[in-house]
Amino acid sequence: MKTLSFVIAAVVATTTLPAMAQSPAKLSPVDAALLKFDKNKDGFVTKAELPAKHPLLDHFDMADKDRDGKLNKRELGIALKML
Ligand SMILES: [Ca+2]
Ligand SMILES: [Ca+2]
């Protein structure tokens, strides 16, 4: 029984937390994209964090204004406008 309750707790934790984070309708498109793609939560989106062949990859280098290889919130906004 211990294993079962652990599995249930793990499933609840992994399914409810992202849903709660994404549910507020107030999120701007940039915040939503950051939430979705910034896997390590450092506030930047790297090419590695984007899914393969994602449209944002086509605009990544153009949007990366400071050329540090990652998009901050402002740069992500620029990239999203290019889509
Ligand atoms: Ca990141
Ligand atoms: Ca950058």
Domain of 8 in residue numbering reads as 2-82
Ligand showing the shortest atom-to-Cα distance for residue 43:
1
List the CATH number of the domain containing 9.
1.10.238
**pTM, 2 dp:** 0.69
Quote the ligand 2 centre to 83 CA distance (angstroms): 18
Residue 20 binned pLDDT confidence (cut-offs 50, 70, 90): low
Domain count, the chain: 1
pLDDT of residue 25: 72
Q: Quick check: 23 pLDDT over 70?
A: no
Mean pLDDT for all residues in the chain: 85
- How far away, in angstroms, is 37 Cα from ligand 1 center? 7
Which ligand is closest to the CA of 68, given by its number?
2
Burial 28-39 (b: 16+ CB within 10 A, else e): eebeebbeebbe
Between the CA of 12 and the centroid of ligand 1 the distance, in Å, is: 24
State how far the Cα of 67 lies from the Cα of 70, in Å rounded to an integer: 8
